[in-house]
Amino acid sequence: RDLRPDNIIVPRQGPVKLVNFDCARVEAGDLQTIATHVDRQLDERYVAPEVWKNAGAASFASDLYSVGIIFFELLAGRPPYNRIRQVFDAKGLPRLPTELNPDLPREANEIVGRMCAFTPDARYASLSDALEDLAIIG
């Protein structure tokens, strides 16, 4: 539940590894005590809007949002925003990948935009669906 570049290890050989599972899951019984602690640790550039409001709202959809932000940064060279307030003001991403890297295919805007949709139900249903669309644009 804390996907960000600092928590991704890319070795020279072997698979990519995710690290730092301190915020992996907030269970209902622990919500009152843990959620307050968790939200102070999250990097607002990579956290989904619903999780920023309520750490207990973390889900697959919020993880997909974080992956989308990381993907945006890989494509464009920097995250789409510096402060989460920009996302709330725009009700979504305040800028598109092609605004920062005009050499990208326009479809990248749609895919990243759907991965990072403001509401969880507007995001891809699964990572494999997003990867399928990414494979189409190459």
d(CA 52, CA 61): 13
Asked if 2 is an active-site residue, the reply is yes
Helices (H) and strands (E) in the chain, counts: 7, 2
In DSSP notation, 94-130 reads SS-HHHH-TTS-THHHHHHHHHT-SSGGGS-S-HHHH
User: Which residue among the candidates 2, 6, 43, 103 is catalytic per the annotation?
Assistant: 2
d(CA 27, CA 64): 19
Burial class (CB in 10 A: 0-12, 13-18, 19+), 8: middle
- Here the tokens at position 77 are 């060279």
CA distances 67 to 47, 48, 96, Å, are 10, 10, 15
Catalytic residue list: 2
